[in-house]
Amino acid sequence: MDDGGEDVVPVDIERPEGLRVGVPWERPTPGMSFAGLVQTTRLLLFTPTDAFGLMRVNGTMTAPLVYLVVLGTVGTFFGLLWQSWARAMLGSVAGGNLQTLAVANSYGVMSFVIAPFVILLMAVVATAVHHLFLLLLGGAPRPPDVTMRVVCYAWGASYVWMLIPACGGLVATVWGAAMTIAGLRQAQGVPGGRAAAAVVVPYLIALCGLLALWTVMATTMLDSLP
């Protein structure tokens, strides 16, 4: 039962496609190819409002999920590569041995193997959180799969920044959040303030969790030193 003790008769809403022709990755040409990947990523990174204005809001979820997993896996590979490199540099400065470095790197390899699954599951959790906050802040006119498409493309494109050593993760996080805001505004058709709050408020709540994660990573890295 909802507010006011009234009988609630659920109705399904038609999902209009409108003039959304899709980002290049979703179109028949170039489609899910390297050219499509590059064009879509460029479009998303530098003109996110246009990109999310073109993005399809119905149809199968294959294209956005594959986009996220492909770029997420590549980005994670580079992120782990820079971590390993930093660990080796720190070890050489502090006189670390190869065994501890090998153990730390084996964790990195395991992280890379499970990365596609973890990225996918994290995107589902993020979708649920952003959609819940949209509902709490006044409503989400389109279904949760539209929020998921936005998260997939925003996160996927932002993983490209992981190619930058040292600060890539931070840039990717901030850029990804900004793109998610632009995407929710365009795709869900909600005001910018609501879209921003739906993205920023969970980030603020999760900040402690992220700080805890960074503490774990820093502790693990220091533990690997002699």
Any contact of residue 17 with another protein (CB under 8 A)? no
Tokens of 13: 């809403």
Between 43 and 190, whose beta carbon lies closer to another protein?
Answer: 190
Between 78 and 107, whose beta carbon lies closer to another protein?
Answer: 107
Q: Are 79 and 164 contacting, i.e. CB atoms less than 8 angstroms apart?
A: no
Interactions with another protein, residue window 52-71 (CB under 8 A): 60-61
Between 32 and 178, whose beta carbon lies closer to another protein?
Answer: 32
Gap between the Cα atoms of 158 and 172, Å rounded: 5
Q: Of 207, 160, 176, which is closest to residue 184 (Cα–Cα)? A: 176
Sequence-distant (6+) residues with CB within 8 A of 68 are 119, 120, 123, 151, 152, 153, 155, 156
Any contact of residue 110 with another protein (CB under 8 A)? no
Cis preceding linkage at 202, omega within 30? no
Exactly one of 16, 139, 191, 193 binds another protein (CB under 8 A); that residue is: 139
Which string of x and - marks every residue 140-179 that binds another protein (by CB under 8 A)? xxxxxx--x-------------------------------
Gap between the Cα atoms of 191 and 196, Å rounded: 9
Between 139 and 192, whose beta carbon lies closer to another protein?
Answer: 139
- Classify 77 as helix, strand or coil: helix
Q: How many residues bind another protein (CB under 8 A)?
A: 44
Distance between start and end Cα atoms, the chain? 61
Instruction: Identify which range of 45-53, 75-83, 157-165, 210-218 contacts another protein by CB under 8 A.
Output: 210-218
Any contact of residue 120 with another protein (CB under 8 A)? yes
Instruction: Identify which range of 8-16, 45-53, 67-75, 90-98 contacts another protein by CB under 8 A.
Output: 8-16
Q: Are 180 and 152 contacting, i.e. CB atoms less than 8 angstroms apart?
A: no
Between 71 and 145, whose beta carbon lies closer to another protein?
Answer: 145
Q: Are 53 and 186 contacting, i.e. CB atoms less than 8 angstroms apart?
A: yes
Which residues contact another protein (rule: CB under 8 A)? 2-13, 15, 60-61, 117, 120-121, 124-125, 128, 131-132, 135-136, 138-145, 148, 205-209, 211-212, 215-216, 220
